[in-house]
Structure formats: C-alpha cells, structure tokens
Amino acid sequence: MRKHENLPKSTLRVALDWEVDAIDPPTSFGGWTTGRVVQQVFESLFEDDLEDEAANPTRLIPALATSVEISNDGLQYLFRLRDGVRFHDGCRFDAEAVRFNIERMWNPQAPQYSPVAADYNRIGLEALKSVEVLDPLSVLMTLEEPFPEFLRYMTQEDAPGAHVYLSPQALKIHGNAGIADRAPGTGPFRFDCRFSTRFGSGVRLIGNNDYWGGVPRLDGIEFKPYPKSEDRYEALLNGEADLAYGLEGTDLDELKRRGFVVVDGQVPHVWYFIFNMRDPVLCDVRVRHAIAHALDRDALCNDIFKGHTVAASGMLPPASPAFDGTYCFPYEYDPERARQLLKEAGVASNWRLHIMSAKAGGGDTVRICDYLATSLEAVGYGAEIVWTEDWISYCHQWRSGLPDGVGVSHMSWGMSCDVWLDQVLHSRNSSPHGFNAGYYSNPTVDNLLDKARRSQDDLQRLQLYRRANKQIMDDLPVLPVLNLRRGNVCYHPRVKGFCNPSQDWNSFKNVWIDSNI
C-alpha cells in the first residue's frame, strides 16, 4: 500500500455548477455534477485510467476486478476479483457482492431490485443473460448477444445511473428507499455529510485510509454549488475554491495571468438541442434544417464563449471512439436559406418556438438558449423559453420526454462510449422509457445502431456509428451546438498531482494541496 507520510494533508474545495443529487449512484441523476462526486466514492469492475492524460479515448484498466477473460464469441466475461477489498462500512467486496449489485439493476425477481436503477442502467445490462458466482473471487457474466462496449459502459459514471458497487449490507439495512447518502462504496473517499452553502447543499467527503489502492493524499474534499459561472470564477479568485468546473466563456486569460492553471483538452461533451418530433411544425425536416441554418454556431463559440468552445460537427463527441474529426456539419450559417425553408414549409409568420431549459447545471444554458431565440427573431420568427430553476428537477422533467406544446429542449451530455448514440436516438429508447426525449424514430438509424452495438470488429463498429451519425444529421432530430475546448477545469497552483484525462470527471486520489503556495 502506497504511503504519503511526507505530504501535508488537507481538504480540496471544488466548485460545481449545481447541487449533487442524492448519492445512490445506480439511481442518481444530476449529470456530471453528481458523477464527479460519485467517481471519488464508488468503483466498478473496470474503470477509465484517469491518470493517463494522453489516451484519447480513455484507456480501460482493471479496478475492482484484476482481470477479465472474454470468450471468442463475445458472450462470456469471466471476472477475477480483487482480494481484500472492503466497502466503507467494513462489508467485504466479493463475488456475492457483485451478484447482489448486478441483480439490483437487472433482475426483477431479486428482493433488492430497483426499477429506477434498472431503468437508468438498462443500456449497459440489457444484453445480460446470467451472472454466476464461481467462487468468492470469480464471477461469470453471460450475455444474450455480443456487446463489445460492455466494459467501457461500466466506466460511465455520469448520473443518470452508474454501474458501480455499494455495500450489500447497507442496502439490506436501509433498502432502496433509504440508501441515498448512506451508500458505502469502495473508493478512495467516503461520504461524510451534506452542509449548507450560500448557493445550496454541498457535499463533504473524507479520505478512506483503508483504500485498497493506497491512502489518499487528501483528508477530504468539499464539493460546493455555484450555479453561475461568474460565481465559480470569483470563488477561485477569492480563495473559496481550489478547483472549479465549467469556466468556459469567462476571462481565462486573466486567470492564467494571475497564476491559475487553465486546462485545455477534449472531453466527450456535446451541448445539443432536442426537437420534438411529434410537434406539428417541427416534424417537417425543412423547419429543423432552417433552424440549423439560422444559428451561427461559430459566432456563439467565438463571441459569447470567447473561443473556449468549438461548434460541434455531430452527435459523436470528441474523445469518443467513433468521433470523426473529418466530418463536417452540413448546415452552414445562412439566414436567407433559413427564411426560404420556413416559407416553403408554410410556417405562419406568428409562429414561435417554445424552448424548455434549465437556468444552470448543464453548461451556460441561458446564453445558449437566448442566442437561439435571438437567431430565430433575426429570420422573422421568435421563441419563448420556459425556464426550470433546479437542474435536477429539469433532468427528471427532460427524461420524461418533451410535452405537447414544447418544441425544443436542451441537454449537455456525451460519453466516451459510442453506444451513447443508441441511448439518446434509438427509437426503442424513446422517453419515458429511455433518453430519446424528442421521440426520434428512423428504422435505418435503428438498424445501424443495432449492428454497431453487436459488432465485435472495432473498425466496422466505428464505421457503423459514423454512418448512423451522418443519417441522424440528415434527419436532424437534434441540433448539436458546441463541444468544450478550454476551461472545463481550472485550479489554483497549490493543487498538486491533478491529472486531466479525456473524460468529464477526474480522480482526486493522488491530488494534494501545497499549503506553501
């Protein structure tokens, strides 16, 4: 076990853009705000190597498993588990704990079954046929059909859901209804408490001195919400926070001038609008194309976000395996073409686009939605935005699908796992039974995504996802807006040992604070 006796112990203060959802990862929502906390407390059998800053996409490494043997037909996964691991409550991690957690997310007959956990983790486990305990440190999982992204999907701790392990003993004591914020994991930090801040509930973690991977260098971490980017920026400057997420669009050059570290790099993030395909106006593809032509995404990135973001080329985000840097978004900024298409579609001059969004928690939503509204006004139409104040409430509302009368909603998401495209755009995942919130359905796309999900040939799988992305962009049920480039993470130079992988969350197990800076 690694020791760090010569390094000072301290607490890292992290500024997030919203409050953290109730911490029961398989049933939590809240996106990366919650996922960045979950990452420190819970683990899966395999994880991203979050210490590797060069790999793009992230490299997969054993975590609670030490190895996996995959059968030639891609149907059987034999996991050898790490010995000596205990949950934060002292309960032993073993093959029975794996079975217990998997059945909570997968087996309706299990007493610990959670319909919410099953819903949120369905994509990762729907191909599972059986889970067998072979001995205390060996688990055999058998699939109904090949799903070569099975391991990579385990790493997606981005809430909604997370394929991670928590103490069976605690679940038996508290039950599904009472386990939130009481769920012991196996990670380098454990949940301590929630505490009040001027912007809402914060979360305090403390170091797990019995962590199988070595004693963490920090005593603890405090995650504090700051819904506005300017407040997160100010928290860094005035010393309230040591590290902040989501500062794209602020004065990053001034931060650097003052000695702060501004992180550049690709992460699997795409900020996008979802069209309501049941809407009588937006169901016409010409209207959706017109809206794309009306939106100057380059100006949005350069003028409003100061070049810290780039216009998205499609729905496959950077740092995902199938991302194609040569693919070009097919709709140039052309307001005259937008007017022409809207006229051809017979859209009434008094038509207004109804937008559903949250004021914080999913990127700088206010400025992006306002920009879309202004862009429509510039071509002779208009928009009305219905705001939700609370990000987590918005996530649940968005998850249930766009209601009648709402034309567009927004989301910022993405994964380093290409099956994400299936998760948000396959017809079988239409809300409220999935995350296809706009009810898009195209049999050609479904067929491509089905083939990609099963293909064991890496090159063929990437090509299938790229073909699906191209067809999706032709149909345009969603409008990708931007990807992040700079300012996703910024921190004070007293923060040492921080690594910035091609992922939307980080590991803080080897981070420490230099109190002399």
pLDDT digits (tens, 9 = 90+) for 146-189: 999 999 999 998 779 999 999 999 999 999 999 999 999 999 99
Which residues are within 8 A (CB) of 157 and not within 5 positions of it... i.e. 6 or more apart? Answer: 25, 35, 38, 39, 42, 44, 163, 164, 505
Is the separation of the CB atoms in 111 and 104 below 8 Å?
A: no
3 pLDDT higher than 80: no
Is the separation of the CB atoms in 405 and 241 below 8 Å?
A: no
Per residue in 326-352, pLDDT tens?
Answer: 999 999 999 999 999 999 999 999 999
- CB crowding 148-180: b at 16 or more within 10 Å, else e: bbbbbbbbbbbbbbbbbbbbbbbbeebebeebe
Give CA–CA dist 225/417, Å, rounded: 28
How many C-beta neighbours within 10 Å does residue 108 have? 8
Query: Angle at the Cα of 51 (from 46 to 52), degrees rounded to 5?
Result: 90
362 pLDDT higher than 80: no
Per residue in 368-425, pLDDT tens?
Answer: 999 999 999 999 999 999 999 888 899 999 999 999 999 999 999 999 999 999 999 9
How many C-beta neighbours within 10 Å does residue 232 have? 26
- Residue 363's pLDDT is 64
Give CA–CA dist 228/6, Å, rounded: 38
Q: For strand 352-358 and strand 495-496, is the pairing parallel, antiparallel, or unpaired?
A: unpaired
Is the separation of the CB atoms in 262 and 250 below 8 Å?
A: no
Three-state DSSP class for residue 139: strand
**Segments in 379-442 forming alpha helices (H):** 391-399, 420-425
Q: E-strand spans in 33-123?
A: 46-48, 60-62, 65-70, 76-81
| CATH, range 1-17+188-264+487-516 | 3.40.190.10
DSSP 20: P
CATH fold match for the domains 43-167 and 270-484 = no
Is the four-CA dihedral 125, 127, 132, 135 of positive or negative sign?
negative
Least reliable range by pLDDT among 30-34, 192-196, 319-323? 30-34
Instruction: Tokens 């999913």: give the residue.
Output: 362
Full-model pTM: 0.95
- CB crowding 303-329: b at 16 or more within 10 Å, else e: ebbbebbbbbbbbbbbbbbbbbeeeee
For the chain, the helix, strand and coil percentages under 3-state DSSP, each to the nearest 5: 30, 25, 45
Three-state DSSP class for residue 303: helix
Per residue in 124-144, pLDDT tens?
Answer: 999 999 999 999 999 999 999
Give CA–CA dist 175/168, Å, rounded: 10
Q: What's the gap between Cα 147 and its chain centre?
A: 20
Q: What's the gap between Cα 65 and its chain centre?
A: 23
How many C-beta neighbours within 10 Å does residue 19 have? 24
Give CA–CA dist 193/206, Å, rounded: 9
Give CA–CA dist 81/137, Å, rounded: 5
Q: Per the structure block, which two tokens stand in for 385?
A: 């935005």
Give CA–CA dist 232/174, Å, rounded: 35
Domain 43-167 has CATH 1.10.10.10: no
**Which amino acid type is present at position 17?**
D
If you count DSSP H runs as helices and E runs as strands, how many of each does the chain have, helices first? 16, 21
- Residue 6's pLDDT is 52
Q: Mean of the per-residue pLDDT values for the chain?
A: 95
Question: Domain ranges in the chain?
Answer: 1-17+188-264+487-516, 43-167, 270-484
Which residues are within 8 A (CB) of 478 and not within 5 positions of it... i.e. 6 or more apart? Answer: 272, 273, 274, 275, 315, 424, 425, 438, 440, 472
- Count the alpha carbons within 13 Å of 458 in the hemisphere toward its beta carbon: 2
Q: Per the structure block, which two tokens stand in for 3?
A: 């020791």
Q: What percent of the chain has pLDDT over 90?
A: 94
- Residue 1's pLDDT is 32
Give CA–CA dist 291/219, Å, rounded: 50
Between 456 and 362, name the one with better pLDDT.
456
As a whole number, mean pLDDT of residues 72-86 equals 98
CATH C-level class of 270-484? alpha beta
- Count the alpha carbons within 13 Å of 211 in the hemisphere toward its beta carbon: 25
2 pLDDT higher than 50: no
- Residue 359's pLDDT is 86
